[in-house]
Structures are given as structure tokens and as C-alpha cells.
Amino acid sequence: MVNPAQIQQLQTEFTESFRQLMLQATQGSLPPVKDRRFSSEAWQQNPQFSALAHLYLLSAGTMHKWVDQLEIPDASRERLKFSVTQWLDAFAPSNFFALNPDALKAFQETQGESLQKGMANLMHDMQKGRISQTDETVFEVGRNLAITEGSVVFENPYFQLIQYKPQTPSVYETPLLMVPPCINKYYILDLQPDNSLVAYTVAQGHTVFLISWRNPLPEDKDDIQNASWEDYIENGVLKAISVVSEISGQNKINALGFCVGGTMLACALAVARKRGQDPVAALTLLTTFLDFENTGVMDVFVDEAHASVREQQLGQGGLLTAAELGTTFSFLRPNELVWNYVVNNYLKGQSPAAFDLLYWNADGTNLPGPFFTWYFRNTYLENNLKKPNYINITGTPVDLGLLDMPVYIYASKEDHIVPWDSAYASTHILQGPKRFVLGASGHIAGVINPPVKNKRNYWVSNAEAEQGFPVSSEWFGNTTQVQGSWWPDWSEWLASHAGKKVRAKKTAGNGSYPELEAAPGKYVKVKAV
């Protein structure tokens, strides 16, 4: 599957590079290694370890070039490239105690205490069943996470609905419903006061409602393990929209969907439109797929065989566990989310620092099997959602092209879960007035970027109204870069679609939907097992 001439060229290049590497090593002139795994002084100052790092990187680079030269279909090449990367990252010399000068230095300086602590950390994580990425003793949902003041005003077997307490004397008359992904817990949108999108939105004068999805457990006795995508649309998103409308007294509300929550929200609105309903005035989609043609690195998991196996395992009921989901997402970026912690926690005996985002990342949720298998086949595998009237949800044909309300679409430039050009593809599906904003960083850090920190930047195009939305590369070529958070840009857009200001209500809910308990509610506190 490789041209013999290309094999010869790769061998020649490797041999020459290896010769140069050995020559530099004997002369003590090896250049500094830029790779973070080998960039410390301990690696640079020891000629043997420095040569080992260079040799590893040379060999890894050659392996990647070999895969690139294979005459195989692109999909097969990407799967092979992913597998090769996993093995190469796992066998990096930095991951082995005897080959890591940083670990050996710590062992010497602590007289062996670092390794003793590392083994204790390893045993603790083995009992827990996952690698510790943060000091989890620092955080607690309801104490210092998800603490924006509010009340649960509705509950069913799928979700609790939280209404947040106004923080301004007057509020916009059109409320906002936030729909987070059910694949994670909602408080990524309400971490701590200084980085909470919920708190920020409330402070801007909006009445905010939010769905807190239930975390199903193996011991649950009701039918939650048999819940389908249709159940989550009908009894989840559409029900939440109805309750928010009843509580607020508004025929139309505004709605925001994040990641899978955005996909679910768009499906629900398409169902509502086919039923002759138009419940949302303005729509916000954050890092959301509607067109699954390009799913980035996730594509390595997508094929008919995988879908069929999953349908046999989970299609009639059961749970896709949080542990499996967490492991899958971690190994999409193994050096950052796996091996980095192996080295620091186990080889060096360090304790991970407290980081709210990583605490949330470890606080996973289980998914009902039928929900997952429907989602996997109809989105990642067959890309059916963008096909007008091709699929039915709750007996209703789905046509996303019917959605013509104003929409704000946000994507993150370095997003490895929802590639930004795939989020951009929604501009060619949705028919209403659109604003597309591209933020810096990745899937989570790009979204959770509060203005007070003045970090990162975002790109916008002022030519959209005149020129429409060309292909993503052409759009990016006509953008302006803006320093700081995209939140104020979105807030200004949302305010323009939120109606007039009215006096804020002092109590949550209404006669039909009384306050059930204080936010964050009980559903979000359930731990996956």
C-alpha cells in the first residue's frame, strides 16, 4: 500500500536524520526540544535524556509520515493515524519513571517520597476508577459551584427547570431558556460567580431559565434507561419551552442551546414548526452541530459496525456510562488529559491543582442507551438531521430549514469536538437573519470566557448582511479580530431581541408551577457510578 520509492525516501530521510542526531549528541550540540513533555531543564541538561527525546520525536514523526504515504481511503487513514498517535503518545519516554529525568530528580530531592506519594495517588485513582485531574475536595455543587440564586419550578423524570432570581430592578420581557447538553452537567454554564454565563446573563437584565438534565443510574426503577431521543425532545426541550412560556406569560421566548443541547433545541423547534407553533423569538447556538458531514477527530469512531454493535447492546435499554464517555473524550487529547496527569500524579507524586472546569469535566453523566444509539446513527453516521423531512421525531417530519428566527451562532476556532467550520455550516441550513461569531480556544474554554478576565479574542464579519455567508474560509478572510470575550457581543444581540424592560418579579414560578426547591436542585447533585 506504499510506493516503493516513497519507502526508500522515508528510510533515507530517517537514516540521515538519525546520523545527524547522533553527531549532535556526541558534540553536545543538540537543540532544545520544544515539545512540552521534554522541555524542562532536566531533559535539556542531560545529554542522554535529551538524545532520547530527540530520537523519540524523530521516530514518531517518521511513523506519521508513513501513515500519510499509505494508499488507502481517507477514512481508513484517519483511523490509522488516530491509533498510531495513541500508541506513540502512550510510549513516550516521559511516561516511564526510569526514562523521565524530571521524575528521577524529584525522587532524589525527596529521598523517594515523591514516588511513594505517586503510588498512593495511583491506588486512590484505581479505587475511584479514573485519573484525578483536579483537587476534587475543593469543590462542591451548591456550595461554590452552580451557586447563582434561583429556584426549581418544574420537575419530571427527564429534567428539572431552574428559574434564576433577577438581579436588576427591571428585566427584558422576553425570558431566555438555556438548554445544556445532557451528555454533561449543566453547571458548565454556571461554574463560579466570576465565570458563570448564567450569572452574567442575569446581571444584564434577562430572566433566565435553565434545564438541569437528570443523571440516570443503573438502579433507577422507572423507564429512564429506555428513554429515546424523541422522549428528550418531547418531554424535555418542548416541555421546558412550554413551562417557561406559561410562567412568563410570553407567547415567544428566547432560547440558547450548547453543544448537543443546541442540536436537541433545533430539532424541538423544527418539530414545533411542523405542528404550526412558533415558540422562540431568537435562537442562540453555541458550538453546535446541525450538519454532521465533518465531525473532526470524532469520525474515527463512526462506522456502521460500531453503530450496529451499540444498537445491539443499548438500543433496547441500558446506559452508556459516564466513565466510558469520559475516557473517550480524554483520549481525544491524550497528552493533555491523560499522560500529563500520569506523569505528574504518579511519577512525580504531585497533587493536581484545584480547577473548576476540570472538576466539572470529571463529574460526568450517564446516557440512556436508546437516546445514544438514535443520536449516533442519525447524526454522526448518516447525517440525517440536515435532510428536509427525512426523519420523524414524535411522528413529525423534521425540516431545520423551517427555522427562520434570528440566530446567533458561536463556534470556537480550536474546537476538536465541533470543528468551527461544521458549526458555521448551520448558516446554510437556518433561514433567518444570522450572526456568526468565531471565538479563540477550544470547545469549553472558548465558550466560558468571561469579560472580566479580558482573555482571548473573537472574529466577526460586518459583511454578512451584504454578502451573506460564503464558504467558511472566505468568511474568515473577511473578518475583524476583536480583543476579549464574545459575551458582550452576544449580550447586545440578545437584548435587541428581548423586547422592552418590565419590572422584575420578586418570586419564581407561578400558581401552576410553584417553587419546589432552591437551585441548583437535586438532579445535578446525582453522581454517576
Question: Looking at the annotation, which residues are catalytic?
Answer: 259
Q: How far is CA 519 from the centre of its chain?
A: 24
Specify the 3-state DSSP secondary structure of 255: strand
For 421, the grid coordinates are 467550520
**Amino acid letter for position 94:** S
User: HEC string of 392-431?
Assistant: EECCEECCHHHCCCCEEEEEECCCCCCCHHHHHHHHHCCC
Place of cell 417553587: 515
**Which is it for the CA torsion 219, 220, 223, 225, positive or negative?**
negative
User: Alpha-carbon torsion 92, 94, 95, 96, what sign?
Assistant: positive
Which residues lie across from 80 on neighbouring strands? none
- CA dist 248 and 442 (Å) reads 35
- Supply angle C-alpha 467, 471, 476, rounded to 5: 80
Query: Considering Cα of 218, then 222, then 228, then 229, what sign does the dihedral take?
Result: negative
Rounded Cα–Cα distance for residues 203 and 465 (Å): 30
Q: For residue 163, how many C-alpha atoms fall within 13 Å in the half-sphere facing its CB?
A: 26
Taking every pair of Cα atoms in the chain, the longest distance, rounded to a whole number of angstroms, is: 82
Q: Which of 116, 114, 68, 61 has its CA nearest to residue 88?
A: 61
**Rounded to 5°, angle at Cα 342 from 339 and 347:** 130
How many angstroms from the chain centroid is the CA of residue 171? Answer: 31
Q: Is 524 left (phi over 0), alpha (psi -120 to 50) or beta?
A: alpha
- R_g of the chain computed on alpha carbons: 25
In sequence order, the 6+-apart residues with CB closer than 8 A to the CB of 364 are 184, 185, 322, 323, 325, 326, 528
331, 111 contact by CB (below 8 A)? no
CB atoms within 10 A of CB 33: 18
Side-chain-facing half-sphere of 376: CA atoms under 13 Å: 25
| CA nearest to 190, candidates 215, 153, 164, 159 | 164
What whole-number distance in Å separates Cα of residue 205 and Cα of residue 167?
7
- The type of residue at 509 is G
